[in-house]
Amino acid sequence: MNFKLSEEHSMIQQAAREFAHELKAGVIERDEKALFPHEFVKKMADLGFMGLMIPEAYGGAGLDTLAYVLVLEEIAKIDASTAVILSAHNSLVLWGLNEYGNEEQKQKYLRPLAAGEKLGAFALSEPEAGSDASSQHTTAEDKGDHYLVNGTKNWITNGGNADIYLVIAQTDASAGHRGINVLIVEKDTPGFTIGPKENKLGIRSSDTHSLMFSDAKVPKENRIGEDGFGFKFAMKTLDGGRIGIAAQALGIAAGAYDLARAYSQERKTFGKPISNHQAIQFKLADMEVEIEAARLLTYKAAWTKDQGLPYGKEAAMAKLHTSEVAMKHTIEAIQIHGGYGYVKEYHVERLMRDAKITQIYEGTSEIQRLVIAREILK
């Protein structure tokens, strides 16, 4: 096994690291005021990050999942909000369109999304069903040449700023999960409205909204795949999405570790840096070990996907472990900072708040354990 990054991967990692350095200016204000980072989303489009895994023929960068993970990790070290904007756009919207969309859909929707000219959102979660794709209450009534969509989606990342939405809806309740479809819905569709922005604990400059549909008319040609394909689409998309969440959690944990290590070498007690104290050294050593283990799990999941192998278990394992590491070690980073860790200017309290959501979205830690158990008990 070769654990050394290729020259191409090293270059994309460095480009992401340099971009992330720019993000640091204003990150506290964006968090406090819940400001969407419009200028940085545009910069990510210029860098090719908005279509990382999409072929160049459709306006993307033509890179692999590992490159995508490397970019997310570097960005999340500084600003997890910008990382989740990028992750939802790439793995929850573009990947499915590229994998399962027809040529007309790719030309009309995938190309401007991959170029970063438009932003995407994935609408699965509902007030009653959560992320259970098999229990959709949003309906898409088949009217021959179009669907009439009715219902509510919630917790939608990029919900207010997106231009294109992939909406999971039930067409035939009697068919269960085989009666679910995925529809491409444009923002200006009559009958489609966007609810107020959620006031969140973390990832505050990423906008999260509810979406409401009241007889929203969606053309039949905007359905992805055959009738009843929506459940399979959602499951495949969530597998890839978990790799993106793992990369975000990895970046958050690594960013907190970098800050804690640097602070421990600057802060002095009893006339010497606190990094000289064994108690601090033990904390830093544990952080290094567990973050590196999380990194290996995340990179392996990306590699497995890139090899064309089944990767559902690997994605769930990476998401489970890395999100728990992020939560654990952002708290440790605050502990190492002492009282300074509790104030905003030292950044680690924000990283802790951002870490918590990685244990929740794309399925809670308990759901990941069920996914893993299902695979190992086959």
Q: Take residue 83 and report the two structure tokens written for it.
A: 């990382």
Q: Which of 71, 58, 53, 81 is nearest to 14 (CA)?
A: 71
Given the residues 141, 186, 362, 366, the one annotated as active site: 362
314 is annotated as an active-site residue: no
Contact 153, 192 (CB under 8 A): no
CA 52 – CA 60 distance, rounded (Å): 6
Strands 164-170 and 120-123: what pairing? parallel
3-state secondary structure of 360: coil
Bridge partners for 147 per DSSP = 142, 218
Half-sphere exposure (Cβ direction) of 278: Cα atoms closer than 13 Å: 0
Report the 3 state secondary structure along 80-140.
HHHHHHHHHHHHHHHHHHHHHCCHHHHHHHHHHHHCCCCCEEEECCECCCECCCCCCCCEE
Residues noted as catalytic: 362
